[in-house]
Amino acid sequence: MTPQPPARRHRWRMAIAAFVAAVLIAVAGCDGSSLSDSDSTANEIRIGLIVPKSGPYKAIGDDQAAGWRLALEKLGGKLGGRLVKVIEADEGDGKATALASARKLIEQDKVLALVGGGTAETVQTLYPLLNESKVPLIGMGGRPSTVENPAYLWSTSWLSQETGASIAGYLRTTVGNGRVWVIGPDYIGGRDQIGGFVTAFRKAGGQLANPGGEPTWTPWAPAPTTEFSPYLTKIKEAKPAAVYTFYAGASAIEFVKQYRQYGITTPLYASGFLTEGAPLAALKEQAKGIYTALNYSPTLDNAANRDFVRRFTAGNDGKLPNVYHVCAWDAALVLDRAISEALAQPDAPATTPSTTGTASASSSPAPSGSPAASRPAASSAASGAATGLTSQTLTAALPRVGSIDSPRGAWQFGPTNHTPVQAYYLREVAQDGQVWVNRTVQTLTTLGS
């Protein structure tokens, strides 16, 4: 072969170098674009987790976040088979802080859905925003009675009136002709919790021992009451057959401590939040013998709960889970199922769950509106457009999730208020080895709508 002249070899080298440079420039130009990120982010779903990170219910928010993360770990970091990016925000006191956090998640972060809400006050505050943005909230905490049309609100927790209503008949039978002193905090969650008990208790023929036959309300604003001396003095003087109350967080701890300090021997009954989570951990033996009603106990004997308790205790130094962990865990299961449904059938209409055998604790439930709406959800374009998943198609799929195999027992959404149709249990604080627990005594009733 005849060697090429030097000038010709030089031209070939220049041409090859130019070609390589052009390729490198093209690749560099794609770096950071949707092309290079397509494999890792095109199908990514953004979810906004809004829980109390500050304020009187911070401990509840910590538990909710822990339950949510445990479920995502079980699901491999995916919901409906899609990778999930969770953006967390503080709901604070449930008013201005909660609203600002939710707006940021929806309008700036473009989340597909919100999950969380530690209190009924937060849900009440966010309700107009949900309808405005058409982004659903999977509520994990208190659910107020003030929601008229829950099209974009689905709760894995409870309707706030139900907890008290579930134990009212049992307490009426227990005290017979005796009267019950009722006390609770003066805000929407407290009014619903106490109101649910009082309405059902009176319906069963019960009477209140309070002056005038009406519940006693303790101040909530500007800060929840933690000094109960004046109220406990009156309870001790009245000598009722029993006391029924609802408090949570720091107020729950102080109420029980001061109840014991005042030497009141009247049997104490309560909504389960009085001894749930942080309050029980702080009170220990001081909570012994308190009877409460709630939709979960770690001592429930079913396969889903055994698996859940095993997973939770393994990662938390033997600590037992509580209802806040469970409702957050279930929120992830609901979204996993709903997102799968929405991806498989994006054009399918919403269906109404069966209501066979259900009961409602709400005095005036309003039918839900159609999840389908005329304008696109605020987050649709960014969080799911690559897969055809939008906040609208997700909302339409929520009624189709069916039965959730929960640690509390199987449940499904009711068609009216979008709250679980579920069992409520009578629980007693007792010691189990070195641990204080809310042990299951019996099933009280099934409620939900």
Listed in sequence order, the residues at least 6 apart from 367 whose beta carbon sits closer than 8 Å to its beta carbon are 149, 416
Q: Report pLDDT for 346.
A: 86
pLDDT level of residue 1 (50, 70, 90 thresholds):
very low
What percent of the chain is modeled with pLDDT above 70?
82
Q: Report pLDDT for 32.
A: 34
Are the C-beta atoms of 184 and 228 separated by less than 8 Å? Answer: no
User: Which residue from 298, 270, 98, 71 is spatially nearest to 181, judged by alpha carbons?
Assistant: 270
Segment among 126-140, 237-251, 351-365 with least mean pLDDT: 351-365
Q: Report pLDDT for 347.
A: 81
pLDDT level of residue 132 (50, 70, 90 thresholds):
very high
Which strands form 78-79's sheet, in the order they lie side by side? 78-79, 82-90, 45-51, 113-116, 137-139, 153-155
Are the C-beta atoms of 238 and 209 separated by less than 8 Å? Answer: yes
Q: Report pLDDT for 349.
A: 72
Mean per-residue pLDDT over the chain, rounded: 86
For residue 371, pLDDT beyond 80: no
Q: Report pLDDT for 388.
A: 79
Q: Report pLDDT for 379.
A: 43
Residues 36-50: tens digit of each pLDDT: 333 345 689 999 999
Q: Report pLDDT for 358.
A: 35
Segment among 277-281, 304-308, 366-370 with least mean pLDDT: 366-370
Residues 427-441: tens digit of each pLDDT: 999 999 989 999 999
Give me the mean pLDDT over the 241-246 stretch.
98
Q: In Å, what is the CA distance from 102 to each residue of 85, 105, 106, 123?
A: 16, 5, 6, 11
